[in-house]
Amino acid sequence: MNDRLRSLQDLQTLHRELRIRQRAEEERREREAAQARLLEQEARIFELTVGPVVKMPQANRVLLSGDRPAPEPVQRMLDEQQAWKQALSDDFDVDSLLETDDTLSFRRPEITQESVRKLRRGHWALQGQIDLHGLRRDQAREALGQFIHDSARRGLRCVRVVHGKGNGSPGREPVLKARVRRWLVQKEEVLAFVQARASDGGSGALMVLLNAT
Cα–Cα distance, 94 to 83 (Å, whole number): 20
Using one digit for the tens of pLDDT, what is the confidence trace for 58-97? 555 555 555 555 555 655 655 555 554 445 555 545 444 4
Model confidence pTM above 0.75? no
pLDDT of residue 153: 94
Cα–Cα distances in angstroms (integers) from residue 71 to residues 31, 40, 76, in the given order: 14, 11, 10
Cβ atoms 161, 208 nearer than 8 A: yes
Render pLDDT for 140-194 as a digit per residue (tens, 0 to 9).
999 999 999 999 999 999 999 999 886 555 544 567 888 999 999 999 999 999 9
Q: Higher pLDDT residue, 120 or 22?
A: 120
Mean pLDDT of the chain: 77
More confident residue, 12 or 69: 12
On whether the CB atoms of residues 127 and 210 are closer than 8 A, the answer is no
